[in-house]
Amino acid sequence: MPDVTRCAFIIDRALPPGLIANTAAALSMTLGKLRPDLVGCDLEDADGVGHSGITTIVMPILVSDAEALRTLRRNAAEREAEGLGVIGMTDVAQRAKSYDDYRRRLAATRQEELRYLGLCLHGPAALVRSLTGSLPLLK
């Protein structure tokens, strides 16, 4: 996979603030698992107190609506062969009470029935920008 030069989170603007935060956090954890190279090394402050490494890239949080997220997910999936990474958070995941429950629910849900709460797109800057450049920042 080419070096990641751009990352963007796209969240459904209709979600309440708590679910927006939860969706961004869940997507971030998956991104960190898939791309540990995006997390910097642990550091120390001037007093010698340790601080865990944080992201080394800018990660804007953009907003869209549910239907546009579905379309964006489909369009992004078509670009994965070009080095675009796509992570999705769905309503099925948000409603699940455990990971096993999520696994069962997801296996029983067709793609067209999924409602995306958020996406994380990461990869070459031109690809990410081509799909997200017109979306507004979360405010």
Question: Residue 123 is encoded by which pair of tokens?
Answer: 């990869």
pLDDT in tens, 34-83: 999 899 999 999 999 999 999 999 999 999 999 999 999 999 999 999 99
| Single-letter amino acid code for the residue at 27 | L
Q: In this structure, what DSSP letter does residue 138 have?
A: P
Is the pTM for the entire model greater than 0.85?
Answer: yes
Band of the pLDDT at 4, cuts 50, 70, 90?
Answer: low
Q: What's the Rg (C-alpha) of the chain?
A: 16
In this predicted structure, the answer to whether residue 13 has a pLDDT above a threshold of 60 is yes
CA–CA distance, 75 with 138 (Å, rounded to integer): 22
Domains parsed from the chain with CATH numbers: 6-132 (3.40.1490.10)
